[in-house]
Structure 1
Amino acid sequence: MEQSPLVYGGLILLSAGVLFLYLALVFWSPAPIITHESEKKYRSHASPKKLLPLSSLADTSKVDLTIVIPAYNETERLPIMMSSTIEHLDSLKGQRTSEIIIVDDGSTDGTSSTALRLASKYPKHNIRVVTLEKNIGKGGAVRHGMLYASGARLLMADADGASKIEDLEGLWKAMDTLAPNNGPAVVVGSRAHLVKSEAVVKRSLLRNILMYGLHTILRIVGVGHIRDTQCGFKLFSRAAAQQIFPAQHLPTWIFDVELLLLAKQLRIPVAEVPIEWHEVAGSKLNVVTASLQMLRDLLIVRANHLLGRWKASPAKAKSD
């Protein structure tokens, strides 16, 4: 049976539309994150000027815990956060070996210098300062720190100190249950229990609108089972980090969603643990711009995963 010109025309338009969407996806997808040679090295209290080589996530662990702190123009808030972090680590009285990796995400306010002063202030702690050559985004800074961490467990923690570092112990206990033999697992610090609390009610109207809008979209893209994807307080076993972070593409602030999508794709168990949280002044997030970027990036990451352009392969992790 002969097809009508309208059918042929429709097929051509449909094909052109699919091609256009695919090309748009390729165009809007972020370029691969390039790591410069200087970024594979760090400075510390013991070596404030000479750059030393970082460890590799592919290697076996050397310490019990790595804390990765992404920092962009954080000269004011970082010292406060570090003070509470060091105080907590000291309270453990040597029960846990640790390192702290501060990743200066191309700051313009001397954040690296501040971090080095803090390293000198706390010489007994293994504080490493990595300076990225240019700002690539919070997701890129976290990814970088994780790729060069040497901990058996890896914690990402924001430089503003909004999350209480003592809550690490709750995440640690959950990890003991979820991955008793150092298998792949992720434990997410969650603020979901604070939704009707004063901490959230008193937040700006725009931030609350952003929060509820985000939750709706997350259900659509496939991580609606996680009540709080955006809390910057997450603990990864080394086996999970070795599979997730090399496959991460998003350098923007919505990167947490990609990490959780990768965990789901890799069948890595994820648990949520309630933590204390308070809003800290000085946020650099523009809620209007962030909302538009969020929608674009969520569509990009979901489309790339559905089409197989971005994917992670399960890997047999080395035992620690």
Structure 2
Amino acid sequence: MNRAVEVSVVLPAYNEADTIERTVEVTLATLEEFLPAGAFEVIVAEDGCADRTPEIASRLADEDERVRHVHSDQRLGRGGALEYAFRQARGETLAYFDTDLATDMSHLEELIESVRSEGYEFATGSRWIPGNTADRPAKRGIPSRGFNVLVQLLLRSELQDHQCGFKAFDREVLFDVLEDVEDSHWFWDTEVLVHAQRAGYEVREFPVEWTPKGDSKVDLVRDVFGMGSQIVRTFWQVSVSPRLDRRVNVAVGTGLVALALVLMTTYLDPGEVWANMRQADLLVVGASVLVYLCSWPLRGTRYRDILERLGYRSDPAFLTGAIFISQTGNLVFPARLGDAVRAYVMKARRSVPYPSGFASLAIERVFDLLTIAFLAGVVVLGMVVTMSPAELQTAIAGTELAGGQEQAGRTAMVVAAGVGAAAIAVTLGIVLSARSDRNYVRGAVSRLSNDSYADYVAGVIERFAGDVQTVASDRRAFALVGTTSLLVWTIDVLTAVVVLAAFGVELTPFLVGVAFFAVSVGNLAKVLPLTPAGLGLYEGAFAIIVVGLTPLSGPLAISIAVVDHAVKNLVTLAGGLVSMAWLNVSLTTAVEETEAIADDERTRATRE
């Protein structure tokens, strides 16, 4: 390596054919003013451009030995292109600035000498600290202020401006910090500075004169989705994850399970339930537990079949444990965040990329909703055939339940109808789009954003939708997963039927049909996160149907629904605890472990 070169200036270039030649000329002229001849180089980091930038950069490099052209065939992203070029640079002091020359070049000497001769490891220009001159219109200034305030609050940064494209680094120190940096696009600057401060390195921030160039605007995809998610991800990495040792994991996991048990008491009166259970056959209630347990290996088998169709292999036992853990998370986390826990577990333990992990969950949910809606629809069709419309309407609308559950029941019926209709509509959309060559995803994203970060987001969504369509478009896979789903939810209903028997209810064919309808509607009702784990909605829907269509009383129907739901939740909790111990994973370590895995999905998407 030629160590005569002391300073390497990198110019990140993506489709800069109109400006790159002038930018190189200005950069060389400015460096000549304060650095000895032969002590610097200018690198054009050309990031998979689609215009004449590569041709121009190559010509400039041929004409001047101080200029180098670093080319990438694929899109690396802004941060990825910078890092790629820095690793090929010769200088011990590394710097870069945006090629639009928005920052006045009179500050270049101060930037470079801060690191080269003044002892700082990092230096950055700032458009926000006193002494700066920056013409920032509101559409730029307000989002920038908001972003920097969030970084200061959540990531404990002392800097005022993290995204100013005017920075210099000590080579050795930068590469040390980059070991912890995961982003390869717009957040790269911020993440470098945050990790540098936390590592104790000296960072100099100084005011610059800055003039915006071009018609930049707030970008929904990059600024809101991209930057916001990266702040949250880095907050977890630097503030939460380091505090999670094994003792904390065990304590938090145990606390979450305890919380789930407490939440269960919000919808059941232990005294009333115990009084009803004293009249029930506890051995038969125990049998319902065994019946319900039979559905879990089927869930693992179904998930295996879905993953295999997506190109990932795993054993049903492990997958059953992963489902137990995620469903336990759904009992205690709001908005079904336990589903995300499963995606984390699959990424950490089976290297299933996040988009595919979430797509596999989406496929599972689609089949769940379709199967439940199908079961309910079959029963309704049978009731329509055997009962008059007036009898059916009177039975349901005129139902009165104890404990004020009638309103919850009616709400659950509305929710169930809406969820069922939405499930069918979404499934039809997926199947139809699977047979179409039109790219709906990229078209929709492009309407929200014209920034290059939209390419990454569109790529992730396209892969997600494509994975869902992979199963929907395969008739054999569709039939296989559909059959397993039917078995899973039939066992779920049979669990409730056994609970009915435990209360001494005579199981006529009609009552079994009502049970299928009541359980199906109850499960549809609790899909939306209106209450924790659907508590109250399931019981209300179940009871209002049972009371309306059978001679059973309201209190008895509610007790049966409570016991049925409690049996299923307790089995889920117990299975979750066993699975967490068996797989040595907790609801918190499931997130922690993924921080050790490079986000290859983001990198691959930005290269496309």
* TM surpasses 0.5: yes
1:102 shift after superposition = 1.2
8 Å CA contact retained: 2:47, 2:77 = yes
Say whether the 8 Å CA contact 2:134–2:209 is kept in structure 1: no
Which string of whole-angstrom CA distances, capped at 9 and with x for unpartnered residues, describes residues 86-140 of structure 1?
111233373660112211111111211111222244x1x4211111121121111
What pairs up with 1:125-164 in 2 under 5 angstroms?
125-164=65-104
Does residue 186 (structure 1) correspond to residue 133 (structure 2)? The answer is no
Which range is displaced more, 149-158 or 161-170?
161-170
Instruction: State yes or no: 1:288 paired with 2:288.
Output: no
Distance 1:193 1:261, change over 3 A: closer
5 Å-filtered alignment, 1:193-272, equals: 193=129, 199-200=135-136, 203=137, 205-272=138-205
Asked if 2 retains the 8 angstrom alpha-carbon contact of 1:206 and 1:287, the reply is no
Kept in 1, the 8 Å contact 2:94–2:168? The answer is: yes
Letter matched to residue 186 of structure 1: F
Assess if the C-alpha contact under 8 Å between 2:132 and 2:209 holds in 1. no
Question: Counterpart in 2 of 1:80?
Answer: 22
Shift of residue 206, structure 1, vs aligned partner: 2.4
SS at structure 2 position matched to 1:271: strand
Give 1 or 2: higher strand fraction: 1
Q: In structure 2, what is the equivalent of residue 107 of structure 1?
A: 49
1:175-195 alpha-carbon deviations (Å, 9 max, x no partner): 35651xxxx710111122479
Query: What is the deviation of 1:237?
Result: 1.3
TM-superposition CA deviations, 1:279-316 (whole Å, max 9, x none): 11165x752222221101111122123325369xxxxx
Question: Is the helix fraction higher in 1 or 2?
Answer: 2
The answer to whether the aligner puts 1:276 opposite 2:212 as a matched pair is no
- Aligned letter for 2:135? A
- Name the counterpart of 1:67: 9
For structure 1, the 5+ residue unaligned runs are 1-54, 312-320
Bigger Cα Rg: 2
Q: Which whole-Å CA distance do the structure 2 matches of 1:278 and 1:78 have between them?
A: 18
Moved more, 239-248 or 268-277: 239-248
| One-letter code aligned to 1:189 | G
8 Å contact kept, 2:10–2:95? yes
Q: CA RMSD in A?
A: 2.6
Paired with 1:220 and 1:96, the residues of 2 have a C-alpha distance of 44
Aligned partners of 1:161 and 1:310: how far apart in 2? 37
CA positional deviation for 1:235: 0.9
Distance 1:176 1:130, change over 3 A: closer
Q: 1:286 to 1:112 in 2, by over 3 A?
A: farther
The counterpart of 1:305, out of the listed 210, 219, 238, is 238
The whole-number CA distance in structure 2 between the counterparts of 1:282 and 1:96 is: 37
Q: Is the 8 A contact 1:146 1:245 kept in 2?
A: no
Check the 8 A contact 2:140/2:218 in 1, yes or no.
no
Matching residue of 2:334: none
Q: 1:270 to 1:310 in 2, by over 3 A?
A: farther
Residue ranges of structure 2 left out of the alignment (5+ in a row): 243-594, 598-608
CA–CA distance in structure 1, aligned partners of residues 95 and 205 of structure 2: 14
Change (3 A) 1:84 1:192: same
Percent identity (aligned): 25
Change (3 A) 1:83 1:197: same
> Structure 1, residues 44-100: CA drift from partner, whole Å, max 9, x if none?
xxxxxxxxxxx6xxxx94411000111111111212211211111233373660112
Render the CA deviation track for 1:17-57: whole Å, top value 9, x for unaligned: xxxxxxxxxxxxxxxxxxxxxxxxxxxxxxxxxxxxxx6xx
Higher relative contact order (CA 8 A, sep 6+): 1
Measure the CA separation in 2 of the matches of 1:212 and 1:195. 17
Cα–Cα, structure 1 residues 282 and 85, in superposed 2: closer, same or farther, change >3 Å?
farther
By how many angstroms is 1:259 displaced?
Answer: 0.1
- Contact 1:223 1:257 survives alignment (8 Å): no
- Equivalenced residues, count: 243
CA distance, structure 1, for counterparts of residue 29 and residue 10 of structure 2: 17
Distance change (3 Å), C-alpha of 1:282 and 1:98: farther
- Find the residue that maps to 2:21 and give its secondary structure: helix
What is the identity, as a one-letter code, of the residue corresponding to 1:80?
Answer: R
Distance 1:94 1:195, change over 3 A: closer
The 3 A distance-change label for structure 1 pair 189 and 223 is: farther
Q: CA deviation at 1:212?
A: 1.6
Mapped contact 2:93–2:116 kept (Cα < 8 A): no
Secondary structure of 1:290 counterpart:
helix
Question: Which letter does structure 1 place at the counterpart of 2:168?
Answer: L
Per the alignment, do residues 215 and 310 of structure 1 end up closer, same or farther by CA in structure 2, a change over 3 Å counting? farther
CA contact (8 A) 2:157 2:197 kept: no
Provide the C-alpha distance between the structure 1 equivalents of 2:144 and 2:48, rounded to a whole number of angstroms.
Answer: 28
3-state SS of paired residue (1:242)? helix
